[in-house]
């Protein structure tokens, strides 16, 4: 039913001109890799995901796949399924933006990476600013990257740190690279 519901949803989105991009997916990984063996995901999950993505693409709607965690074992499978983007990239799960960009950044748009378990809740404004500049320098060239948090911004995150993330993006998020 999961796949069928998404196929129906794609049609509804197209008929009602709801959005040019849909964020969908499921958490299929933990901080240490997939919940189940990648081969089982390839047999049981990715055929449905491919069908879902095709149903959106048929209507010129981009599909960005969301899953927290370490997606390395299945990154190529996501690309093969036809997703337009991967959201979010969590650095504390091994999803280092520069490495992911080098691996699949020419095929999909990458989202996230500002650390929701480190700099945002626990760091200073200066820590967040430095991280944002570094991520812009690592992921920005050639584009294909949307800066954001590595997951939800929880209420424990100090407002000045959130403001620092967005203000730094506004200041340095244009190219050439930040300095």
DSSP output for 104-153: HTTTSEEEEEE-TTTHHHHS-HHHHHHHHHHHHHHH-TT--EEEEESS--
Spatial separation of the C-alpha atoms in residues 78 and 74, rounded to whole Å: 6
Tell me the average pLDDT of the chain.
Answer: 93
Specify the higher pLDDT residue, 140 or 85: 85
Scored b (16 or more CB within 10 A) or e, 28-66 reads bbeeebbeeebeebeeebbeebbebbebbeeeebbbbbb
Residues 48-75 have a mean pLDDT of 96
In a domain, 176, yes or no: no
Look at residue 120 and tell me if it is in a domain: no
Domain-embedded: residue 79: yes
Query: ∠ at Cα 150 (148, 154), nearest 5°?
Result: 95
What pLDDT does residue 176 have?
Answer: 54
Q: Total domain count for the chain?
A: 1
Mean pLDDT computed over 118-139: 96
Q: Is residue 71 part of a domain?
A: yes
Judge whether residue 178 has pLDDT over 70.
no
Would 27 be classed as within a structural domain?
Answer: yes
pLDDT at residue number 1: 63
- pLDDT score, position 179: 54
Q: Does residue 175 lie within any of the structural domains?
A: no
- Decide if 67 is inside a domain: yes
Q: Is the pLDDT of residue 177 over 60?
A: no
Q: Domain span at residue 12?
A: 2-114+144-155
Half-sphere exposure of 152 (CA within 13 A, CB side): 3
């Amino acid at each position: 039913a999961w796949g069928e519901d998404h196929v129906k949803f794609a049609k509804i989105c197209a008929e009602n001109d709801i959005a040019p991009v849909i964020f969908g997916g499921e958490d299929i990984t933990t901080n240490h890799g997939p919940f189940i063996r990648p081969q089982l995901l390839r047999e049981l999950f990715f055929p449905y995901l491919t069908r879902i993505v095709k149903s959106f693409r048929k209507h010129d709607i981009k599909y960005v796949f969301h899953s927290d965690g370490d997606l390395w074992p299945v990154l190529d499978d996501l690309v093969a399924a036809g997703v337009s983007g991967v959201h979010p990239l969590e650095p504390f799960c091994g999803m280092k933006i520069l490495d992911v960009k080098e691996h699949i950044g020419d095929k999909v748009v990458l989202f996230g990476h500002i650390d929701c378990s480190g700099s945002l809740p626990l760091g200073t404004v200066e820590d967040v600013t430095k991280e944002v500049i570094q991520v812009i320098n690592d992921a920005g060239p050639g584009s294909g990257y949307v800066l954001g948090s590595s997951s939800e911004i929880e209420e424990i995150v100090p407002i000045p740190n959130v403001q620092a993330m967005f203000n730094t993006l506004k200041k340095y998020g244009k190219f050439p690279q930040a300095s």
